[in-house]
Structure 1
Amino acid sequence: MSGGFLVQAEPVLLMGLIEACRATIAANSDHLCALDRAIGDGDHGTNMRRGCDAVSADEASVSALPLPDALEKIGLMLVMNIGGAAGPLYGTLLMALGRELRTLDDDRDFPTVLKQAIDAVARRGRSHAGDKTLLDVLYPVQDALAHCSPLTDIARQAEHCAELTAAMKAMRGRASYLGDRSIGHVDPGASSCALLTTAICRYLEEHRPA
């Protein structure tokens, strides 16, 4: 998944990615809520669906923008429409990625740009890998990109890493109040991140130029 391919993405491709993300969250909204009921407020799926629906409703104008601008706008929309901690975290990821993409000169630099955006999420959430958050998916995905892994492998890595959060003790967010009782439950934020990563990878695999 090269940076050049992403930065030069045509509007129709970005619209397709937006729809792919909206569809996967809609299909898994109840599952995400069930995960969140075990260790949180039980509304992660509903919140994510509301955010994705808001982006989808404005996808025509968003997709007409240069990709860095589009990502920043989507990030802001997610902050405004997703409740709880997920909105600021996902929003920070996309807004930081949009800003950093403006400095991208070489396809090989995209993993570095993504790393910087993920680090911004870690600072915003005051969390680290291993704290049972979406970072436990984002950092391995970035590492897989840095090693030029195939898109199908990146999707599998994201899904696997989300499942691994079940063995972790939550250190941040509402789930952290449960202490050891958070162990045994998949983190809903990691799960939604894996779902979105998988949707993006599958769409790019199907629609990238030959």
Structure 2
Amino acid sequence: MALDAQWAANWMRAGAAAMAENRQRLIDLDRDIGDADHGENMDRGFSAVVQKLDADGTPATPGDVLKLAAMTLMSKVGGAAGPLYGTAFLRASTAAGAAPELGPAAVAAMLAAARDGIVARGKAEPGDKTMVDAWTPAVEAARTAAAAQATGAGVLAAAANAANAGLAGTEPLTARKGRASYLGERSAGHLDPGAASTVLILQAAARTAEEAA
């Protein structure tokens, strides 16, 4: 099966399962340097995406699925995560366009558009200890994999692995954006919860793409 609308819907469902499974972990990470609501917000938001898919059925294209996710997350997720992930999926939807399937280059472009949307919305840069520290290496790895003729699933696997390394790299950083920045030097020594949820999202994308191959 190709990276089509059904894959995109499966990605959202796998993402919802990952958020439910990791809800407490994300809460704990956010409690360390934030307001402890990230896990609850992400779980609620992705559950709402699945409910929308169940109610309305799978849209026609991957881009349509991503747009559905964007609108749902924007309306259901509180805190900073809703606008950031909503913008990410909306930009990804625009990048995917009306294509019925996404090839490797399109997957890389979709991830880049998502990252660029987060940067535009949150004004964060690599090194600020935010989800951008997971998204940026993911985009770079995806582009490299696509250029090396990897499959779409391979591009997503490379992105997920790079995001996970980026997450680990947030631990020693001092936060310069968001609520964590209020802690100053005390924010060092903790993983960024937004980077952690980014990893879960990209791992879900890679896992469902591998199953679709």
TM-score under structure 1 length normalisation? 0.88
Gaps of 5+ in 1: none
Q: Does 1:29 align with 2:23?
A: yes
Q: Tell me the distance in 1 between the aligned counterparts of 2:18 and 2:94.
A: 26
CA contact (8 A) 2:8 2:66 kept: no
CA contact (8 A) 2:170 2:190 kept: yes
1:64 match: 59
CA contact (8 A) 1:48 1:82 kept: yes
CA contact (8 A) 1:25 1:195 kept: yes
CA contact (8 A) 1:18 1:59 kept: no
Q: Does 1:186 align with 2:191?
A: yes
CA contact (8 A) 1:62 1:73 kept: no
- Cα offset for 1:117? 3.1
Q: Tell me the distance in 2 between the aligned counterparts of 1:106 and 1:194.
A: 21
CA contact (8 A) 1:132 1:168 kept: yes
CA contact (8 A) 1:115 1:142 kept: yes
- Count how many residue pairs are aligned between Structure 1 and Structure 2: 201
1:147 match: 144
1:206 match: 211
Q: Tell me the distance in 2 between the aligned counterparts of 1:62 and 1:21.
A: 17
Q: Tell me the distance in 2 between the aligned counterparts of 1:103 and 1:16.
A: 18
Q: Does 1:195 align with 2:192?
A: no
Which of 126, 129, 137 lines up with 1:129 in the alignment? Answer: 126
CA contact (8 A) 1:33 1:46 kept: yes
Q: Tell me the distance in 1 between the aligned counterparts of 2:17 and 2:106.
A: 30
Q: Does 1:20 align with 2:17?
A: no
Q: For the structure 1 residues 156 and 114, does the alpha-carbon distance in structure 2 shift closer, same or farther, using more than 3 Å as the test?
A: closer
Give secondary structure in 1 for the equivalent of 2:171: helix
Deviates more, 1:153-162 or 1:190-199: 153-162
Q: Does 1:172 align with 2:166?
A: no
Give secondary structure in 1 for the equivalent of 2:82: helix
Q: Tell me the distance in 2 between the aligned counterparts of 1:10 and 1:102.
A: 12
2:112 match: 115
CA contact (8 A) 1:134 1:193 kept: yes
CA contact (8 A) 1:29 1:46 kept: yes
Q: For the structure 1 residues 153 and 110, does the alpha-carbon distance in structure 2 shift closer, same or farther, using more than 3 Å as the test?
A: closer
2:167 match: 162
Measured against aligned partners, the alpha-carbon deviations of 1:169-192 in whole angstroms (never above 9, x if no partner) come to 111110000011100000000001
TM-score under structure 2 length normalisation? 0.86
Q: Tell me the distance in 1 between the aligned counterparts of 2:98 and 2:60.
A: 17
Q: Tell me the distance in 2 between the aligned counterparts of 1:39 and 1:107.
A: 36
